[in-house]
Structure 1
């Protein structure tokens, strides 16, 4: 069987454009996920029972149903209620809301991981609740959850490939389009695999360097 690897050069631009959109979608979806995660985390540890129950229901529903189904509901279902989104917007919202449920549990674990002695020390220093949150809880919990946050960012990047199902022209979407038009299946998908590897490895290195900058003592230990 003859494989026409040389023809791939014709589609570099289209595939790289798809990769660029993949990064944009990942960044926007993860930003939404962080905001949702912090809000839901606050609800999960709230002393107000209805808020705590609502947050718990959100986490369980989003984590125990397929993210693709959630994207379909936003893109195909909400228009029947008068809410219409473009494919990219629907995909970003779907990914962000889904990943936000996972981040909420990660943030909650980080808050719980803060030693009780740290809070007592903050109280002894007459720090307010806001000051304790900013100077004690967030730095300690962020160090604890940063590896999990990094993994979720990479999962969001790879999960963006699901948006090809609703015709978003990200990397997988562009790959599918080229493959169906040229029948260069092995060649195109192999090259896209290399692009995904380059993206994830680059992001992994960037996140590792960010961790060394944020937590210098932890990175040396």
Structure 2
């Protein structure tokens, strides 16, 4: 079998590729910033917060971590409208990214908190700090310092997992690849380009997170 590779279509379809990259980056930024923030709050609830908050947060974390991301996405986009909550493709995709990452970030950050020496908690008590103040001023930064590489890896995994949002017609990079191959019938070339672009995005994201980590935690190697 003789196959002739052809990438001439890139000049015609590069706008949709760029749009797909932009959507994937947007999903990663929104999911990362809000998801990690909610993960911190959830980790506090499970470790240092009121007991009445720990149980429901624990149920949420286990529910999200033990169900497929695609099912979560479909539930948000197709299920919620049934009870009156209608979302656009991008709203549903962003919400699914946030909900998913927050659950995983919660457990990663919780591991960092639980590895904190008891002396730091005692220092907060000695300074008459409230539990939330102790967490924010004494515990949080060292905890993040311990788990930054794991948290960075999880964010990259979530970015790559965002490819499934194309299933609800969110116009990310995978949607662009599907669209192009359906028009050009050049599936090998279309998915080769998308694979290379995802690889570059993952490498750039890792480098960016390593750079952020080196500034936030200069004594820790984040690579």
Task: Calculate the TM-score normalised by the size of structure 2.
Answer: 0.91
Which of the residues 146, 150, 153 maps onto 2:152? 150
Q: How far apart in 2 are the matches of 1:169 and 1:91?
A: 10
Aligned to 1:60: 62
Q: How far apart in 2 are the matches of 1:65 and 1:131?
A: 34
Q: How far apart in 2 are the matches of 1:127 and 1:21?
A: 46
Deviations 1:94-124 (A, max 9, x none): 1211111111111211111111122233444
3-state SS of 2:101 partner: helix
Aligned to 1:19: 21
Q: Residues 35 and 100 of structure 1 are in contact (CA less than 8 Å); yes or no, is this contact kept in structure 2?
A: yes
Unaligned residue ranges in structure 1 (runs of 5+): none
Q: CA deviation at 1:178?
A: 0.8
Is 2:165 the counterpart of 1:163?
yes
Q: CA deviation at 1:46?
A: 4.9
Of residues 12-21 and 49-58 in structure 1, the stretch that sits farther from structure 2 once superposed is 49-58
Which of the residues 180, 192, 195 maps onto 2:194? 192
3-state SS of 2:219 partner: helix
Aligned to 2:129: 128
Aligned to 2:32: 30
Q: How far apart in 1 are the matches of 2:173 and 2:44?
A: 35
Q: CA deviation at 1:202?
A: 0.9
Runs of 4+ in 1 over 6 A off after TM superposition: none
Aligned to 1:9: 11
Q: How far apart in 2 are the matches of 1:39 and 1:216?
A: 24
Q: How far apart in 1 are the matches of 2:134 and 2:52?
A: 26
Q: Residues 179 and 188 of structure 1 are in contact (CA less than 8 Å); yes or no, is this contact kept in structure 2?
A: yes
Task: Calculate the TM-score normalised by the size of structure 1.
Answer: 0.92
Q: Residues 114 and 137 of structure 1 are in contact (CA less than 8 Å); yes or no, is this contact kept in structure 2?
A: yes
Q: Residues 44 and 135 of structure 2 are in contact (CA less than 8 Å); yes or no, is this contact kept in structure 1?
A: no
Q: CA deviation at 1:8?
A: 2.4
Unaligned residue ranges in structure 2 (runs of 5+): none
Which of the residues 203, 214, 217 maps onto 2:216? 214
CA RMSD of aligned residues (A): 1.8
Aligned to 1:39: 41
